[in-house]
Structure 1
Amino acid sequence: LKQTLQNPWEAFAEKHPVGSEVEGEVKNKTEFGLFIGLDGDVDGMVHLSDLDWTRPGEQAIEDYKKGDTVHAKVLDVDVEKERIAIGIKQLASDPFASKKTGAGSGDEGGEGELRKGSVVTCEVVEVKDGGIEVKIAGTDLTAFIKRSELARDRGDQRPERFSVGEKVDARIIQFDRRARKVAVSIKALEVAEEKEAIAQYGSADSGASLGDILGAALKARDQKK
């Protein structure tokens, strides 16, 4: 009887070629990913690695439950093996491959380019005991600033002094596109600014106090603005 009907996987492939977007209901959650009910009474699978660009699949899958309606992109249709691979993260661009990220390791990046040594503005999205979770402005990248990297002075290394939604400047201390890791530090930025201020406005044997030197640097920065 089934030979009198069109193969449902062939029908799906004709109607939804690779790269097209589909919508379906979460039928099941497994240790490998999500099974989504699609047109033609076939299921597509979203592998854990295709759920989110920046979070581990084991963490991202917790956002979904049976019965949820999701949108995804068709990645592959294997008619012979009766398998359909779809991805949710592919609906958004890869933050590590965008024009605003760079793989260089120089201290200074080009305008709008992220690389090790770049100074970025971050928004606090969560405050935890061990540090703060931040989102880098203008990107979809998130990073965790641990307590020891919150400030140069130990007394200021307190996560509770930050609040959700607050904007902070930090320095990128790690940018690894292959490992998909980005790390930022407020402490590293403060240390770099202090070194620059001393180099420009005074030295250890000039007789000027650190407060005087930093005050001159801040005044010069404000005048530039």
Structure 2
Amino acid sequence: MGVMDTTTQQDNKQDGAVSTQQVAVPHVMEELLKTCPKIFLKTGDLIDGTVLSKEGACVYADLGIFGTGIIYGREYQNARDFVKKINVGDHMSAKVVEVENEEGMVELSLKEAGEEIAWKEIKELKESGETLELKVTDSNKGGLVIEFRGIKGFLPASQLNAAHYPRVDGGDKEKIAEELGKFVDHPLSVIILDIDPKTQKLIFSEKGIASEDVKKIVEQCKVNDVIEGEVTGIVEFGIFIKVAENLEGLAHISELDWALVENPGNLFKVGDKVKAKIIAIDGDKISLSIKALKTDPWEASREKHKKGDIVEGKALRINKFGVLALLDSGIHGLAHISEFGSEKRIRELVEAGKRYVFQIAVFQPENRKLSLSFLGKPGEPINPKAPTSEDASAPLPTTLTTEESLSTQPLMQEEETG
């Protein structure tokens, strides 16, 4: 035998040894797993098994190489509804509560496993945006309660589609709750809007779900289009207008008029024919504006007013910032509380709903800013202030924009309530 042959035989032997080692590693792991499988389990793991028996308040499961699992005590009580439905031989998934108890069995939780599996599915459904048909189980003043895989979720009233939103005159909360209660035990088509497994938060939405017919109608609508339709509903935050068959749009209270609107029902009634401009389209949600078709009083006031002018206006509201007043030209301004010294002094001098004389301290129509100085009642001697240059660094409350003034509405109080 030559040197080459000897070398080849030695190489073959080495190759064989390596192959044997490679085969032996998984074989050793397999044997180790068989002899001591529980070292590979840890608390919190999800594990599959087969129901072996149901004895009293215990369920035993075959976990294969991991031995026998048991569900009992508190975990049995937590999952008793599910336990009633399972039979010997059924496949089940459970969560490891204790790897090995005093009897050498793996303690399991069906409830925790079910929740973890459910939250995983919920996350996938949220990401996919899939529509679900789920039954309403309860209601309250804020919306509807819906369950999915045993987890309670919430559908806020604000996330109902236009057709289902309770149309209650004056926004009476008791009547809204009564209307919402009519959905209990009825199915709704919803999507998952928001989740947080840690806090058990599951929020549903009915918005954004539209039939193919509605989608085709929406596709024909364009932002800036002007529509004419019938008022189909009046709520505290605006009015619903029929855009087309089976399609409504919402004109928010802030889009009804350039003037302050406290109650949409004072301006409109169901059945009124109105024109509105489409200002936004989001899925099947169409936002409308009626005031967009009217002259902007701020633009019209450019030539009417200037700083230092003496003007009359109606005191609309009193709030912690001062007096919100409506001038005859249709623009709003704020007489800041610093003009009076205190809210108590304001209420001594001013009554909501009555007219007073003001002097324009700041007028920036391009920024919708109007600041007023209070001078007194019409017919009384007044003491106008000498105009000064507008200070850009002046405190914000003295130059609140109309929108900022109106945004304080929840804090405002009528004079008669003081």
TM, length-normalised to structure 2: 0.30
Structure 2: which 5+ runs fail to align?
Answer: 1-210, 376-381, 388-418
Give the direction of change, closer, same or farther, for the CA distance of 1:116–1:47 in structure 2 (3 Å limit): same
Query: How many Å separate the matches in 2 of 1:95 and 1:85?
Result: 22
- One-letter amino acid of the counterpart of residue 356, structure 2: V
Give the direction of change, closer, same or farther, for the CA distance of 1:125–1:54 in structure 2 (3 Å limit): closer
The counterpart of 1:42, out of the listed 222, 227, 247, is: 247
Give the direction of change, closer, same or farther, for the CA distance of 1:181–1:51 in structure 2 (3 Å limit): farther
Give the direction of change, closer, same or farther, for the CA distance of 1:134–1:77 in structure 2 (3 Å limit): closer
1:23 aligns with 2:213: no
Identity of aligned residues (%): 20
Query: How many Å separate the matches in 2 of 1:162 and 1:47?
Result: 30
Give the direction of change, closer, same or farther, for the CA distance of 1:24–1:8 in structure 2 (3 Å limit): farther
Query: How many Å separate the matches in 2 of 1:129 and 1:7?
Result: 46
Query: How many Å separate the matches in 1 of 2:295 and 2:235?
Result: 26
Q: Is the 8 A contact 2:214 2:284 kept in 1?
A: no
Give the direction of change, closer, same or farther, for the CA distance of 1:144–1:159 in structure 2 (3 Å limit): farther
Query: How many Å separate the matches in 2 of 1:23 and 1:146?
Result: 41
1:134 aligns with 2:325: yes
For the residue of structure 2 that corresponds to 1:186, the secondary structure is: strand
Counterpart in the other structure of 2:383: 190
Counterpart in the other structure of 2:296: 94
Counterpart in the other structure of 2:275: 73
Q: CA RMSD in A?
A: 4.6
- One-letter amino acid of the counterpart of residue 251, structure 2: V
Query: How many Å separate the matches in 1 of 2:228 and 2:242?
Result: 14
TM, length-normalised to structure 1: 0.50
Deviation for aligned residue 1:171? 1.4
For the residue of structure 1 that corresponds to 2:298, the secondary structure is: coil
Counterpart in the other structure of 1:167: 355
Deviation for aligned residue 1:38? 3.7
Give the direction of change, closer, same or farther, for the CA distance of 1:163–1:28 in structure 2 (3 Å limit): closer
Structure of higher RCO (CA pairs closer than 8 Å, 6+ residues apart): 1
1:145 aligns with 2:338: no
Q: Is the 8 A contact 2:231 2:242 kept in 1?
A: yes
Greater fraction of residues in helix: 2
Deviation for aligned residue 1:184? 0.9
Deviation for aligned residue 1:40? 0.9
Query: How many Å separate the matches in 2 of 1:115 and 1:75?
Result: 31
Deviation for aligned residue 1:6? 11
Counterpart in the other structure of 2:196: none
- One-letter amino acid of the counterpart of residue 50, structure 1: E
Query: How many Å separate the matches in 2 of 1:41 and 1:93?
Result: 31
Q: How many aligned positions are there?
A: 163
Q: Is the 8 A contact 2:359 2:384 kept in 1?
A: no
Looking at CA atoms only, which structure, 1 or 2, has the larger radius of gyration?
2
Deviation for aligned residue 1:44? 1.6
Give the direction of change, closer, same or farther, for the CA distance of 1:43–1:182 in structure 2 (3 Å limit): same
Give the direction of change, closer, same or farther, for the CA distance of 1:93–1:21 in structure 2 (3 Å limit): farther
- One-letter amino acid of the counterpart of residue 311, structure 2: V
Counterpart in the other structure of 1:117: 308
Structure 1: which 5+ runs fail to align?
Answer: 103-109, 195-225
Measured against aligned partners, the alpha-carbon deviations of 1:184-222 in whole angstroms (never above 9, x if no partner) come to 1126x835369xxxxxxxxxxxxxxxxxxxxxxxxxxxx
Give the direction of change, closer, same or farther, for the CA distance of 1:146–1:161 in structure 2 (3 Å limit): same
- One-letter amino acid of the counterpart of residue 116, structure 1: K
- One-letter amino acid of the counterpart of residue 324, structure 2: E
Give the direction of change, closer, same or farther, for the CA distance of 1:125–1:38 in structure 2 (3 Å limit): same
Query: How many Å separate the matches in 2 of 1:132 and 1:75?
Result: 32
Query: How many Å separate the matches in 2 of 1:71 and 1:134?
Result: 31
- One-letter amino acid of the counterpart of residue 383, structure 2: E
Q: Is the 8 A contact 2:234 2:264 kept in 1?
A: no
